[in-house]
DNA sequence: TAGATTGTTAATCGATTAACAATC
DNA sequence: TAGATTGTTAATCGATTAACAATC
């Protein structure tokens, strides 16, 4: 059963908030009403989302916090390690490599790749920066399925083609370019400028 | 008339795609059908969104590309400069300061702020890094209304309080922490880990 | 004129919320 | 037992799509 994107996103928010302790730090049980209040949502929605993945609550008690974390984490694929590579060792690639959250949530970065000789051989956030020539080797020998694209738009499609050819199945695309992939590869576009527009709209209204 | 978030987001996507030349590079006219195909949407939606902000098309011709850019840019507040400050001069703050897109779309970064003595006094992407002590002065004297929060979660609320007190009206929050603001201040949360979960879900399915 | 495309109303579809019996 | 909370069905609401007259 394929879980819908909107449900996945809400489950992810719930997962990260519970792990971070934003909602209840030490409690054993948590009710859908408390969760809903934190996210400014309807409590029925919380129960329905958890029902989708088969998490059961208990009348008068609510849901077991640790069970929710474990089950949601399992469904989201965050309970076991996900190895990844980062294409582009600029500031954004560096920020992603250094972000402690990824390791915490099961995503480890195997290496960064760049064409800039000044960057090749350096280390960013405990990850080595390799030449793009090493890309295929690294991905194959570590059986990596996830790639983060932080390279310039001009080379995004070319990099994508190489990634797909060598077995990458999921691409997190931070370049503003639309990239083409075969049907069995999933792309998530992260166009942060779009969020900016919502703010400037309100400022200039 | 308040434009809904979903409409704003679609208009922003359209605006950036047209400016980048993703849809039609040099054409004078563009039809809602062509736009819709690019975004994998229904063409009625495109016409409705443009109708919301009063952009008129012409039967048999479509919409004037430049007019769409100008009108949408105007509504989104991207036609005139928006000065901003960035709180936190880590890699993410640096990536944002260096990103050429912001200047191109009317957002200029006045300064970065950090408490790390090693960073204070340096320059990132043509922006100076100042001590947090200078925050209020800089915002007041430049009449800045927009702030980007890339500091650690632990100080996000404290920084927010100072920003709000000195007149900031829009906050782009990259920290995973929920921040509290008065009603007249708008916050946009950019929790990129949420996007990651969608990819790991599909990989582990 | 014939044909393509807009603008808009009506119909459909899906998502959110309300209601409430079941349960501990 | 009484009361709180779940689980789920039904009702509402809003968003998307279809249809089509108007127009150039």
Bridge partners, residue A9, by sequence: none
* Residues of chain B neighbouring A75 (CB-CB closer than 8 A): 201
**Whole-angstrom distance, CA of residue B202 vs CA of residue A2:** 9
Chain centre to alpha carbon of residue A145: 13
Contact yes or no for A127/A86 (Cβ under 8 A): yes
Measuring from the CA of residue B43 to each C1', which nucleotide is nearest? D17
Flag whether pLDDT at B171 surpasses 90: yes
B122 SS3 class: coil
Residue A4 tokens, joined? 């819908």
Q: Give the model's pLDDT for residue B93.
A: 96
**Whole-angstrom distance, CA of residue A53 vs CA of residue A72:** 8
The nearest CA of chain A is from the CA of B125 a distance in Å of 10
The nearest CA of chain A is from the CA of B57 a distance in Å of 23
Contact: B178, A102; criterion CB under 8 Å: no
Q: Give the model's pLDDT for residue A102.
A: 86
> Which of A8, A16, A92 shows the shortest C-beta gap to B201?
A8
Burial of A84 (0-12, 13-18, 19+ CB in 10 A): buried
- Give the end-to-end CA distance of chain A in Å, rounded to a whole number: 44
Measuring from the CA of residue A43 to each C1', which nucleotide is nearest? C17
User: Given pLDDT bands bounded at 50, 70 and 90, which one contains residue B53?
Assistant: very high
Contact yes or no for A117/A89 (Cβ under 8 A): no
The nearest CA of chain A is from the CA of B130 a distance in Å of 19
Protein-contacted positions of strand D (CB under 7 Å): 3-9, 15-19, 22-24
Q: Which residue of B has its CA nearest to A145?
A: B203
Q: Which residue of B has its CA nearest to A95?
A: B91
CA distances A203 to B76, B96, B102, B171, Å, are 9, 20, 16, 10
User: Given pLDDT bands bounded at 50, 70 and 90, which one contains residue A100?
Assistant: confident
Flag whether pLDDT at A26 surpasses 90: no
Q: What percent of chain B has pLDDT over 70?
A: 100
Q: Which residues touch strand D (CB under 7 A)?
A: A 31-33, 43-44, 47-48, 50-51, 56-63; B 4, 6, 41-42, 44-45, 48, 58-60
Contact: B101, A193; criterion CB under 8 Å: yes
Query: Is the pTM above the cut of 0.85?
Result: yes
Summarize pLDDT for B77-126 with one digit per residue, the tens.
Answer: 999 999 999 999 999 999 999 988 888 898 999 999 999 999 999 999 89
């Amino acid at each position: 059963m394929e879980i819908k994107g909107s449900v996945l996103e809400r489950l992810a928010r719930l997962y990260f908030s519970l792990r971070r302790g934003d909602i209840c730090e030490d409690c054993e049980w948590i009710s859908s009403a408390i969760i809903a209040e934190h996210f400014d949502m309807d409590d029925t929605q919380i129960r329905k989302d958890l029902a989708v993945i088969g998490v059961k609550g208990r009348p008068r008690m609510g849901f077991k916090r640790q069970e929710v974390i474990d089950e949601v984490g399992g469904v989201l694929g965050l309970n076991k390690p996900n190895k990844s590579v980062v294409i582009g060792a600029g500031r954004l690639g560096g920020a992603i490599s250094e972000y402690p959250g990824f390791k915490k949530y099961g995503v480890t970065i195997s290496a960064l790749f760049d064409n800039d000789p000044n960057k090749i051989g350096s280390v960013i956030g405990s990850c080595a920066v390799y030449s793009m020539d090493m890309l295929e080797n690294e991905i194959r020998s570590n059986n990596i399925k996830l790639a983060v694209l932080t390279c310039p738009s001009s080379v995004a499609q070319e990099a994508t083609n190489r990634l797909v050819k060598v077995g990458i199945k999921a691409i997190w695309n931070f370049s503003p370019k639309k990239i083409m992939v075969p049907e069995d590869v999933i792309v998530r576009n992260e166009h942060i400028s779009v969020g900016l527009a919502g703010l400037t709209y309100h400022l200039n209204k």
